[in-house]
Structure 1
Amino acid sequence: MPVETTFAIVDAFTTEHPFSGNPAGVVVLDAYPDDAWMQGVANELHQAETAFLVPAQDPASFRLRWFTPVAEVALCGHATLASAHWLWESGTVPDGSTITFTTASGPLSAVRDGDQVVLDFPSVPAEPVPPSADLHADLRTALDGAVPVWTGITSNDDPGERNVLAVLETEAAVRGLAPDLQAVTRLPAGGLIVTAKTRTGGVVSRYFAPAYGIPEDPVTGSAHCTIGPYWQDQLGTTLLAEQASPRGGALRVDTGTAGRVHLSGTARTAVTGLIH
């Protein structure tokens, strides 16, 4: 395993305020060490996700894996945006180059558009959930009694990689939600996405994944791969999205390319250091 390794913590999907958005650890390695070392580093940095990158054959191509403090995940938006930002800022990849990533969720890419980083991600739509007394009882408990106007679940063979999507009537209901996190862990999915339209024509959301060591995620890029496809018929293929966590975050979601979602946002490096 590496003896001494540089790391960065990058705030992704930031607003104009410092220390907004979702912080992610970024670690660039020559080769992957054993999984236990990466899991240990992710727990030590204790961000929602830490990204581990290894160069591939092309100078701007990398293998990419993501770990929460307790488990590896198959897709993470904010840590991918943080990775691209750090690769350009550190000079690992020339500024302006398109970066490609090989991941468990297939090929991903990142490009610059002014001060924005644009990610090309897979679309992950949710399907309506058939009536189920147990599921809806657990969901109402998780939502502190709120009744969703629509409920769906993303399809995946691994329950830990699925998300329940709950659409609420108003943005105030999303912003004021105090979920029962124990009830969230009883849902047949790894995470709970809650969303509503805003009065200004955009969307607001929050994301909870306590089973993955993330009681509430500050800004969740991968959740918008589900939020965008849900809202496109009502609001169009380009959405301005806010994640109303205590830190807050903002992104643009474009679902105009079939089967893909483009996520755009800004990033700032907050911390750099060495892992000994």
Structure 2
Amino acid sequence: MKLRLYQLDAFTDKLFAGNPAAVVPLEEWISDELMQQIACENNLAETAFYVPTEHGFHIRWFTPTVEVDLCGHATLATAYVIFSIENYGQSEISFESRSGTLKVTRQDEWLTLDFPVDTYQVAVAPPALSESMKSVESFEVYKGKSDYMVVLETEEQVKELKPDIFILSTVPTRGIIVTAPGDEVDFVSRFFAPQSGIDEDPVTGSAHTTLIPFWAEKLDKKVMTAKQLSARGGYLRCELADDRTLISGQVKLYLTGEISLQ
């Protein structure tokens, strides 16, 4: 059996930036074990698999170690494959997923994810989270559905932060968002997920389902720009639309290949 494989850089307008993701189109589902093995072999933050359905597509996402409920950059990459490589004739794609129905629209070079808004609340930092952030004098902590969010005062603090990844990996959560107001954009962030096999994710679309409602309230604005300050970096356009978050980015195709399963 042979499977097509694409590798793309999401949330960037140039190669070797943004967040790389693999996309594997399927006619029908293969086993969960095989999808996990492929994701592990790819060794990227996420590998997305999708199959066509009567009303669109069904999408699933795997890190090298686990299946996850939601992934923004791999969904953006998958939409690029369907729109630009598979020549899908519609302007909107509908994905069924473990996080419900997700839609992606295209306008010129920009793709927009329509994701559910995350709910968050003020939280007490677990001891391991506080210990891993000991280089920062003060910070606020919130808890969303999947992640803790640490709010710092400045972009420079986010950029220079060097958390203890080993200690951070013991925090009982999918990952940790670190954010602050931006100097040239509305807000900046970084995302650490050693619990999911990713020490630091380059650009995390799903984290913005928490970031967008938080900063919309803080800044009293619905339409915002954002940067993720990883080594590769990424740029996002963001909008809060009632109980949905609209997350826009660009995608660049890096690799087209074939998986040979003997």
So what's the TM-score if we normalise by structure 1? 0.90
Contact 2:45 2:198 in 1 (8 A): yes
Contact 1:148 1:167 in 2 (8 A): no
1:154 aligns with 2:144: yes
- What's the counterpart of residue 85 of structure 1? 80
- What's the counterpart of residue 199 of structure 2? 215
Contact 1:77 1:222 in 2 (8 A): yes
1:101 aligns with 2:102: no
Structure 1 ranges of 4+ moved more than 6 A: none
1:73 aligns with 2:61: no
One of 108, 111, 116 as aligned partner of 1:117:
111
Q: Name structure 1 gaps, 5 residues minimum.
A: 156-161
- What's the counterpart of residue 38 of structure 2? 41
- Amino acid corresponding to residue 193 of structure 2 in structure 1: A
- What's the counterpart of residue 159 of structure 1? none
**Could you say if the C-alpha distance between residues 254 and 138 of structure 1 is closer, same or farther in structure 2, counting changes exceeding 3 Å?**
same
- What's the counterpart of residue 180 of structure 2? 196
**Could you say if the C-alpha distance between residues 93 and 17 of structure 1 is closer, same or farther in structure 2, counting changes exceeding 3 Å?**
closer
Q: 1:201: how far off?
A: 4.9
Instruction: Kindly report the root-mean-square deviation, in angstroms, between the aligned alpha carbons of the 2 structures.
Output: 1.3
- What's the counterpart of residue 130 of structure 2? 140
Q: Deviations over 1:113-164 (max 9, x none)?
A: 22100110010132101x46xx1x3222222431443211113xxxxxx200
Contact 1:8 1:25 in 2 (8 A): yes
One of 217, 224, 230 as aligned partner of 1:245:
230
Percent identity, aligned pairs only?
A: 40
Contact 2:170 2:195 in 1 (8 A): no
Q: Deviations over 1:4-24 (max 9, x none)?
A: 01110111001x442110011
Matches within 5 A, 1:2-81: 3-14=1-12, 16-58=13-55, 61-81=56-76
Q: 1:234: how far off?
A: 2.3
So what's the TM-score if we normalise by structure 2? 0.95
- What's the counterpart of residue 269 of structure 1? 253
**Could you say if the C-alpha distance between residues 201 and 21 of structure 1 is closer, same or farther in structure 2, counting changes exceeding 3 Å?**
closer
**Could you say if the C-alpha distance between residues 97 and 56 of structure 1 is closer, same or farther in structure 2, counting changes exceeding 3 Å?**
same
1:173 aligns with 2:171: no
Q: Deviations over 1:177-228 (max 9, x none)?
A: 1111112122221100000001235111000001111110000000000011
Contact 2:40 2:64 in 1 (8 A): yes
| Distance across 1 between alignment mates of 2:105 and 2:193 | 29
| Distance across 2 between alignment mates of 1:80 and 1:201 | 24
Contact 1:140 1:147 in 2 (8 A): no
Deviates more, 1:146-155 or 1:115-124: 146-155
| Distance across 1 between alignment mates of 2:59 and 2:138 | 35
Contact 1:142 1:179 in 2 (8 A): yes
Aligned residue-pair number? 259
| Distance across 2 between alignment mates of 1:148 and 1:229 | 22
Q: Name structure 2 gaps, 5 residues minimum.
A: none
